[in-house]
Structures are given as C-alpha cells and as structure tokens.
Amino acid sequence: MTEKIKIKSKNVNVYYGQKKALDKINLEIPTNKVTALIGPSGCGKSTFLRCINRMNDTIDICRIEGKIIVDEEDIYSTEVDPVLLRAKIGMVFQKPNPFPKSIFDNVAYGPKIHGIVNSDDELEELVIYSLKKAGLFGEVKDRLNDTGTSLSGGQQQRLCIARAIAISPQIILMDEPCSALDPIATAIIEELIDELAKNFTIVIVTHSMQQAARVSQQTAFFHMGSLIEVGHTDQIFSTPSQKKTQDYITGKIG
Amino acid sequence: MKEHIVTTYDEDLNSLKSNLTQMGLDVEKQIFEAVNLIKIINITKAKEIIKNDESIDALEKKIRGFATITLSKRQPLADDLRQIIISLKISSILERIGDHASNVAGRILSVKKAPDSYSTDSIHQLGLLVLKNFSTALSAYDQGSKKIAQSVPTEDITINSVYETCFREHLHLMMEDREIIGFCTQMLFVAKELERIGDLSKVISKEVIYNLQGTLK
Ligand SMILES: Nc1ncnc2c1ncn2[C@@H]1O[C@H](COP(=O)(O)OP(=O)(O)OP(=O)(O)O)[C@@H](O)[C@H]1O
Ligand SMILES: [Mg+2]
C-alpha cells in the first residue's frame, strides 16, 4: 500500500511467560483507513491490538520485543509516557464496559483527566459532540444523568465509542465491538466506523468475515501467532494468495 | 480437495455443480439432436427438441434459485463465491445456447423436406464442429482446465471460416436455382444459429479462464 502509514510494527514478538503469543509481526497500518485483524481464536489478534496502546504493560507476565512505531516514534522507547500515549489512542472492547457513572460523566471522564477542556461549557460541548459522533445523542439527550449501565447493550457500546472519541484520539482500536449486538445495532456501529475513518485510523478485530469485508480497506490474517497475509480487503476476500487464508475465510479444514 | 467444516455447505455447492453439469449435458444432447436433423429431417424429433427446451429453461431457474439461497445462507467468499457466480453466468449462457438449438429445430420444421439437388453436407459439417467445440467448453468448466478452455477460441476461428464458406456456397446455389431460394434461406438461418452457439461456447471458455485466474497460484 502506498498510503501514509500511521502505525508500523517491526519484528514484534510477544511472550506470556515462556509462551510465545506473537512471532515476528511486521505490519503497516495506513492513516485514516480501517484495518481489520482476522484469524482463529487464540491467534494473537487482541494481543497485537494491546501492543499498540501498551495495554500489555499492565500484564505482568507479558514481554514484548521489536518496535511499534506510531507517527515515526517508537512507543516502547523510555521517553514515551504510556498515559499520554493512551490519550492519543482510544479503545473499544468486545463487551461494552461503561463506568458506573452517568452517561454524561462516562464521556466527560477522559477529557477531564487528560485536561483536554478548559471550562464546563467546553466540556459539555465536547460530550454532546462525541455522543453525536457515536450516533447516540438522539437516544440519550433527555437522560444524560442516568447511569451508563442503564442503557441497552448496543447503546452502551456506542457510549464506549463516544468515550473513546471524546479524548480526540488519532487512533481507535476496536476488539470485536459488535460481537454482542443485534444486526441493527451492528449496522449503526458499522456506519459509524465508516464515518470515523474520515478522521481516525481504525484497527478492528472481528470474527465476522462479512463485517471485515464491509468496513475495512486493509485486512490482516493472523494464524497461531504469525501474520500470514495482509492486503487490500477486496483482494483478501476474493482472491487471497495464501492457502491458509482461503481455508479460514471459506471455513474449510482437512 | 479440502472440505468445509459445515458439511451441508459442501452438499449445497456440489449440488449446484451437478445441476449445472446436468444442464450442460442436456444442452449438448439438444445440439446433437438438432445437428442430426440437418442430415435427416424428422418432424417428430424436431418437435421433441422444441419441447425439451422448456426443461432446460426450468433447470436454469432452478440453478438461479439455488444459487440465491446459497448466497444468502452461506455468504460465500473467495473460490466459493466465484463458483456460485460462474454457475449463474454459465447457466444463463447454456439457456441461450438451448434456445439456438431449439431454433434450428424450428427452421427444420418449417422446411419439412430438402430439395433433391441439395446436399446438407456443409451445414451438417458446421454443426458437428460447433457441437464438438461446445463439448470442449463444457469439459473445460467441468475439469477446471485453463488449457482446454484456451483451445475453444482457436477452434472457433475455424468454425467462423466454415460458416463463411457455407454462406458463399448457399449464395451460389440460390443464384443457380431460384426454386430453392426459400429452402436455402432457411438453411442459412440454421447456419447462423450454429455460428451463434460457437460464439457462446467461446464465452463459456472465457468465463472458465477468468474464474481460474482468481484461484491460488
Ligand atoms: N493475559 C494472558 N496471560 C497468558 N496468556 C495469554 C494472555 N492473554 C492472551 N494469552 C495467550 O496468547 C495467545 C493469543 O491470545 P489473544 O487473546 O491475543 O488471541 P485472540 O486472537 O484475540 O483470540 P480471540 O479471538 O479468542 O479473542 C493465546 O494463546 C492466549 O492463551
Ligand atoms: Mg481477542
């Protein structure tokens, strides 16, 4: 791909204790595009995603080798503050995980701790903007003080997306964001991903091949800790070049 | 060949393929019978061919319905998806070839009998070449063979020149004997139908090649 590159992984190995979870991953993620990570359960997709915002730092037994370069800077270098890094990178998890706070405070929390806003008015504006971007505002505008957990699953997921957007990140990582959602809520999130990709670099892990084909421009196929194939999404799903990829996406064994 | 984890998926794809193969064989038989009619005019046979075309149309509809259900049920990707798309394309080409075979029978029905002076050899010869090239295109699909598929367009060049020869020969016949102008005109239409079958066989072979280009190296 000839696009601008936002994230570059260079020979990344990840170990959990003695066990190697990722083996020599070299992957370039283009700016303001959606990259889908696919592959069988346990192949290392979430592990790779967590490398990008240094979430693996929080796991004691986890050790990383190689480089992850975001905007020309190695994020594992000693000068990088993981907290600041995470302000640049939003993350949405498989299960919606709103804080036990009001809808408003769920979104306001990040901007407050990262000191993004200067006044209450500005904060309110940002919260509304983020809820609108996440396609949730219309449904919650009259109940911003209700707890986040009082929302439906699909609404909670969009609340988490609003929370991720509120810190105005450059990158959004999504780990199976639609796995617990119905087709309508899924469509709303996919529409949102298309919209967000105009301004953000998105990396999404999904187990739905059709979803990967719909929302992403680049697809990377992982298998047992290795990156088997990466390419334009259209190509990966119509004419993959590796047999392992083809067998996986078409559901074959033997 | 690897199998799908879901065995009913394999069953669906296999049954799609076997329906298409069946349709191909049925159309091949129709062409064979129609070409035979040129040599030995047989009214009963001609009517039979026209009647049989209905079951070919029905097979096309069946394949389309089946492909649609498989697409919505399995949401196939990569080679599976191509297999379904080519089934749809080839079945629609086969349906048109079936029409041309049936049209040959229709023309023969309307001439009823050849004039004594007339020799059917050249158009019959054209028919045999067309039938053979159609069978080649079918086996290219059946065996997924690029090599076989590539021989079809080459052979079609020969068919076209045989068609041209037939055309000129009939012009001469008509100039020499005004009595057989009506008959010869019908036979020229027959030749045209055959030439169209030749073109469509070529289209099948191109579909096969296109389909194979998407497969793994
Ligand atoms: N915290 C951890 N401690 C020890 N091993 C771990 C940990 N997290 C992941 N692993 C191991 O690393 C490998 C990769 O796991 P990972 O969660 O990245 O897979 P995944 O591709 O996201 O799978 P899934 O699709 O099931 O979410 C697995 O073998 C897993 O058991
Ligand atoms: Mg995971």
pLDDT in the model for residue B216: 55
Mutate to test the pocket of ligand 1, among A22, A25, A47, A91 (most ligand atoms within 8 A of CB): A47
CB burial readout B85-94, b (16+ within 10 A) else e = bbbbebbebb
Q: In the block, which residue shows the tokens 């260079």?
A: A10
* Chain A CB contacts of B12 below 8 Å: none
Q: Which of B2, B75, B76 sits opposite A247 (nearest CB)?
A: B2
Mean pLDDT, residues A119-131 taken together: 95
The CATH architecture of the domain made up of A5-249 is 3-Layer(aba) Sandwich (3.40)
The DSSP 8-state label assigned to residue B61 in this structure reads: H
Q: What is the mean pLDDT of chain B?
A: 94
In sign, the C-alpha dihedral spanning A57, A58, A60, A62 is negative
How far does the CA of residue B6 sit from the closest CA of chain A (Å)? 8
The label of the residue with tokens 């067998």 reads A247
Q: pTM of this prediction? A: 0.85
**Smallest CA–CA separation between B10 and chain A, in Å?**
10
Say if residue A1's pLDDT is above 70.
no
Q: Which of B15, B157, B153 is nearest to B84 (CA)?
A: B15
- Comparing CA positions, the residue from A241, A199, A234 lying closest to residue A36 is A234
Domain range annotation of chain A: 5-249
Residue-wise pLDDT tens digits, A158-215: 999 999 999 989 999 999 999 878 888 888 889 989 988 999 999 999 999 999 999 9
Which residue from B31, B116, A196, B173 is spatially nearest to A188, judged by alpha carbons? Answer: A196
Q: Give the mutation target among A22, A23, A43 for probing the ligand 1 site: most ligand atoms within 8 A of CB.
A: A43
Amino acid symbol at B147: K
Q: Comparing C-alpha atoms, which of A217, A254, A248, A250 is closest to residue A41?
A: A248
Task: Provide the β-strand partners of residue B3.
Answer: A253
Q: Is A129 in the pocket of ligand 1 (CB under 6 A)?
A: no
pLDDT tens, B49-66?
999 999 999 999 999 999
Residue B217 pLDDT grade (very low, low, confident, very high; cuts 50, 70, 90): very low
ipTM value for the complex: 0.75
Q: How far is CA B144 from CA A234, B3, B97, B215, in A?
A: 24, 18, 21, 11
Query: pLDDT digit string (tens) for B164-191?
Result: 999 999 999 999 999 999 999 999 999 9
Residue A16 and residue A59 in contact, taking contact as beta carbons nearer than 8 Å:
yes
| Res. A3: pLDDT tops 90 | no
Residue B215: what pLDDT?
64
Mean of the pLDDT values across residues B104-130? 92
DSSP state at residue A4: P
> At which residue do the structure tokens 């068609």 appear?
B163
What φ, ψ does residue A74 adopt, rounded to 5°?
A: -75, 115
pLDDT of residue B190: 97
Residue A8 has pLDDT above 80, yes or no: yes
- How far is the C-alpha of B179 from the C-alpha of B117, rounded, in Å? 11
- Is residue A30 predicted with pLDDT exceeding 50? yes
Q: Is the CB of A95 under 6 A from ligand 1?
A: no
